[in-house]
Structure formats: C-alpha cells, structure tokens
Amino acid sequence: MASFIRSSKPLCSTVLSNLWKAQNLNEKIGRKFSTSATCNMVFRQLFDSKSWTYTYLLADDESKEAVVIDPVLDLVDRDINIVKELGLTLKYGINTHVHADHITGTGVMKKRIDGFKSVLSEKSGAKADLFLADGEKLNFGKYEIEGRCTPGHTNGCMSFVIHSEKLVFTGDAVLIRGCGRTDFQQGDPRLLYNSVKSKIFSLPDDFLLYPAHDYLGMTSSSVGEEKKHNKRLTKSIDQFEEIMNNLKLPYPKQIDTALPANLVCGIQDDVA
Ligand SMILES: N[C@@H](CCC(=O)N[C@@H](CSS)C(=O)NCC(=O)O)C(=O)O
C-alpha cells in the first residue's frame, strides 16, 4: 500500500481506507491508482470551440510546477487565469506540432510569464526556446514527460508520454477513432501509420490517450481502445494509405494565418 502513497504528510485512516478501496477498484478495472489523495497530478482538459482544440494543463500539486500542451492564442487569458487561481508556476508551453488550424498561445505566454519556455520537436522547423529530440524528457515537479517523434501528419509531430501516470498526449497523430490528415505540411500516410504503431500503440493498453482535437464530442480514449476500434489505424498499411489519400477534407479555415504565425511561435516579432 505504501508504494502508491507519495505524500510525506500524514493521512487520516478514512483517507487511507478510501485510497485502498480506490486502488482495489482501479486494479479491478485494469488501471493502477498511482497518486495519493494529497498529491494528485493537476490535470485540466480545456477546449477551444473555434478550432476544436484541446489544451492540457498539467501540474505537480506539491511543487506547483506546471506545463501546458497546445495552448490557443485566443484563450491565453483563460489559461493564465486558471494557472493563477491554482497558484501554479507555468514552466513549459509544449506544442505537439506546428498547427494549421489555430495560432499557438505559447509566444504570448512567453511574453507574460517569467521563465516560461516554448517547446517543440527539433524536427518542427519552427522557432521555440527548447527543441526536443526523440525520447528526450522534461520535468515539472516530480513528473517526467517524454517526447516521442510521431511524424506523418506533419514532419515535426511529437507525442508526449507521462509513464508514471499512464498518459499519452498524441497531438494530431492519433485522434479518437481517427488520426490527423496527411494532405499538407509534409503529411505522409505510411510514415504516420508506422509512427503510431511503433511509438504510441507500443505503449501498454491501459495508457489513457488524449488527442489535440475531437470533432465528435469525445474527450479521451486509451491505447487499447484505439488499437481495437480506431477506424483507420486498425487497417493494413495499404488500406490506411488508400483511406488517407481519399479523405477529401476542406482545408482548415485558419490555415493561411495559423501556419506562418506558428512558424514563429505564434507572434510576428523576434521573441521565440
Ligand atoms: N474544420 C477544421 C479543420 C478540421 C481538420 O482538418 N482537422 C485536422 C486537424 S487540424 S490541421 C485533421 O487532421 N483532421 C482529421 C480528420 O479526419 O478530420 C477547421 O477549419 O479548423
């Protein structure tokens, strides 16, 4: 029991008993209960209704260090407000890739938050403060987040894994029951297929999966669920390529402004 209680604070017997029950329940449904009642990872899934983008705010409840994944420029005030309300220190603004459908909020956050650093894959070809290579890790408080290169939707796509919490943030590589389109920004169906199989579907089935978008009102999935039910990625690589080359989707409405802005981290001056 002690192995899953990470707090140094004393816990009353009711809390301990509830934790014990929760752990048993989570083990029964195949998911490990990995944080205690007093030091849960702060997790907020935030939504942009204009581009259907999910932004994730993650923090260590003890040290208060936080990261934000895929913030949207129009909603920076909302995000900074939550950070302030929760008393967090925002260390990193991670973009899973150079987005085509919205302008990133990381450039403006950098101007407004001391010490804040923007993060992108080293393969992105865009401006940022920190560039991650495949397998490289960042820390916020006691948590470690690993960047895994998952190209195919774009060259510079990266998914982010928090092994201790069994979480993967897939950007546009895997969407719930779908995946990112491959018809612009160096998109390549076969590359995407192989990225997903080797870097995301190789994780244990019980890792929860959080995408950068959902267009059907879904919020999360799991690796196991997508391996079984994803409408595109359960097919053979040849069938997948055929599907992706015939999606015939209209271009994202904001692409002409979003792409050039995101190449310079969302702002047109010299601040990365
Ligand atoms: N209608 C939206 C854009 C929708 C879209 O193209 N989404 C992309 C991810 S953002 S580049 C995508 O990959 N979709 C895959 C799919 O199967 O829908 C807008 O105008 O912003």
Beta bridge partners of 58: 43, 67
Enter the pTM of the model.
0.87
Quick check: CB of 216 below 6 Å from ligand 1? Answer: no
Centre of ligand 1 to C-alpha 176, Å, is: 13
Residue nearest to atom 19 of ligand 1 (CA): 252
Is the Cβ–Cβ distance between 272 and 127 less than 8 Å? Answer: yes
Instruction: Examine residue 119 and state whether it is found in any structural domain, yes or no.
Output: yes
Instruction: Examine residue 179 and state whether it is found in any structural domain, yes or no.
Output: yes
Quote the pLDDT of residue 267. Answer: 81
Instruction: Examine residue 258 and state whether it is found in any structural domain, yes or no.
Output: no
The residue among 261, 258, 264 whose CA lies nearest residue 48 is: 258
Is the Cβ–Cβ distance between 188 and 150 less than 8 Å? Answer: no
Instruction: Examine residue 266 and state whether it is found in any structural domain, yes or no.
Output: no
Per the structure, the count of domains in the chain is 1
Instruction: Examine residue 271 and state whether it is found in any structural domain, yes or no.
Output: no
Residue showing tokens 């990193």: 92
Which atom of ligand 1 lies at the shortest distance from residue 99's CA?
11
Q: CATH number of the domain at 130, please.
A: 3.60.15.10
Quote the pLDDT of residue 64. Answer: 98
What H or E segment, with its residue span, contains residue 65? strand 65-69
Is the Cβ–Cβ distance between 125 and 158 less than 8 Å? Answer: no
Please give the residue range of the domain that contains residue 238: 33-247
Quote the pLDDT of residue 105. Answer: 98
Quick check: CB of 97 below 6 Å from ligand 1? Answer: no
Q: What is the pLDDT along the chain (272 residues), one digit of tens a residue?
A: 222 223 333 333 333 333 333 333 333 333 433 433 446 899 999 999 999 999 999 999 999 999 999 999 999 999 999 999 999 999 999 999 999 999 999 999 999 999 999 999 999 999 999 999 999 999 999 999 999 999 999 999 999 999 999 999 999 999 999 999 999 999 999 999 999 999 999 999 999 999 999 999 999 999 999 999 999 999 999 999 999 999 999 999 999 999 999 999 988 654 44
Instruction: Examine residue 24 and state whether it is found in any structural domain, yes or no.
Output: no
Residue nearest to atom 3 of ligand 1 (CA): 252
Centre of ligand 1 to C-alpha 100, Å, is: 9
